[in-house]
Structure 1
Amino acid sequence: MRAYVFEPREKRRASLAAELENAGLQPLFVGEEFFETGLAPLLQPGCEHRAILIGESPNTHQQIRAVRSASCENPMIVLRDFRNSQDTAAALDRGADDVIVSPIKGGEVLSRINSVVRRFHGHASENVVVGEVTAYFDGRDPIVSGARIKLSKREHSIFQHLALNSNKVISKNAIYDAVYGMSADQPFDKVIDVYICKLRKKIAAAAESGAQYIETIHGRGYKLSAPEETDVPPVNGLRARLGMEARAN
């Protein structure tokens, strides 16, 4: 997961970067100008998950206002040096999603970002169930028909984006930007198709129904949803029905 980080004290950036990277976050440090001229890209589809972490400075509240005034709904967390209930309340009232007090721990930052993201998409719990698939939003690999399937880091990023938007069509460009948007190493155009194919094979191999669960909506993108009965491969569908009958007996 990518995050824009404003930390005005240069001496703290290296240790903060290491802490965030160890938790699986990819920090991009920005300056004051980010809040004046750098917010427009966050309004593009696929960018709404990128967190904004704001280190304590005299301009913290103005920066919060700038983000929200630009209509950015990204998770925004203020990183404070000391507890200050009055300042925390003001930051939250102005649009911050959370305030974390030093020492800053990457795992806590990631969990708080994930909490904001899943609620943004209407998921109050730590997971979503789509047919035989249970997708988690806390970094765990999904469970399909009772068995956990192992996903690579990139597969997991793409799958989680689909899971957060389950039963909705997500464009390839939105998925691509959510996964690669801030990377200096932009891969070839078909990379999302390749990973979608891998995900389908892994899900179908684990699902009792044999269903792939990720549907291609031609000209629009992909959708993670439970298949209709008519979409279930007949051999695997029969296998699933026989398995359910055996368990019932």
Structure 2
Amino acid sequence: MRIMLVEDDACLAEALAEALSDQLYVVDVVKDGEAGWEYAKAIAYDLILLDVMLPKLDGVSLCQRLRTHGYHLPILMLTARDTSTDKVSGLDAGADDYVVKPFDLQELLARIRALLRRGSCPSTPILMWGNLTLDPSTYEVMYDKQPVHVTPKEYSLLELLLRNGRRVLSRSAIVERLWSLENPPEEDTVKAHIKSLRHKLRAVAAPEDLIETVHGLGYRLKQLA
């Protein structure tokens, strides 16, 4: 899941980005409303976390512009002012939810999860591909009922492959989905993570080619029998 955080308070933005990354979200931090608009046009986000008081273009105006141009992704607004007028303005502009600063981090994360569930199509809670299972609610990966111990980035990569099945994902597409724009890795990093995942899957007797390389194009999961 990819989140854009539009927040001009550098300390708060850094703390929030770290907390969201710990929850395995990919986070792009933007410092003003106009930049937020440009990012939203260029990248498919799953949710926008949007401060109200922003330079260049305030959060309510950005929210309204996004809705006017047909963007239906969930928007959660943040504000330091706990007044009914501010809440009404944000909700009328098209925001899905509203959180007042200072907020409880766990409550904010719960609201984000709720909006992401509401904004997505109903799907099977546990992702499956043959004997391979991944549980997004517990971050557990199993193959034939044996646990597969993966790193957070390997988990995100495997989840992305499971959600796409036989669709080929290029290295650049994987980087775009799993890393923030501020610190993108070399594409060879993807190759290294794929290699590590294959090694861990083979250790629990998964087929060697469960993750296929489509030469010159990218990666996908092996066709089920």
The alignment's TM-score, normalised by the length of structure 2, stands at 0.72
Aligned runs of 1:10-29 on 2, under 5 Å?
A: 10=9, 13-15=10-12, 17-23=14-20, 24=22, 26=27, 28-29=29-30
Which of the numbers 196, 199, 202 marks the counterpart of 1:201? 199
Size of the aligned set, in residue pairs, is 218
- Does the Cα contact within 8 Å between 1:79 and 1:104 map onto a contact in 2? no
| Superposed displacement of residue 172, structure 1 | 2.1
Partners of 2:103 and 2:85 in 1: CA distance: 20
| Superposed displacement of residue 53, structure 1 | 0.9
Aligned partner of residue 39 in structure 1, secondary structure: helix
| Residue 181 of structure 2: aligned partner | 182
Instruction: Give the direction of change, closer, same or farther, for the CA distance of 1:164–1:132 in structure 2 (3 Å limit).
Output: same
| Cα offsets for 1:99-132 (capped at 9, x unmatched) | 3444434445445545655676645354312211
Gaps of 5+ in 2: none
Gaps of 5+ in 1: 230-249
- Of all paired residues, the percent bearing the same amino acid is 24
Counterpart AA for 1:216: T
Aligned partner of residue 78 in structure 1, secondary structure: strand
| Cα offsets for 1:46-104 (capped at 9, x unmatched) | x434x421123494332113234555565432224577788767756754444344443
| Residue 163 of structure 1: aligned partner | 162
Partners of 2:202 and 2:162 in 1: CA distance: 16
Which of the numbers 53, 56, 59 marks the counterpart of 2:52? 56
CA RMSD of aligned residues (A): 3.6
- Is 1:127 aligned with 2:132? no
Counterpart AA for 1:168: R
Structure number with greater Rg is 1
The alignment's TM-score, normalised by the length of structure 1, stands at 0.67
- Does the Cα contact within 8 Å between 2:7 and 2:30 map onto a contact in 1? yes
Counterpart AA for 2:170: S
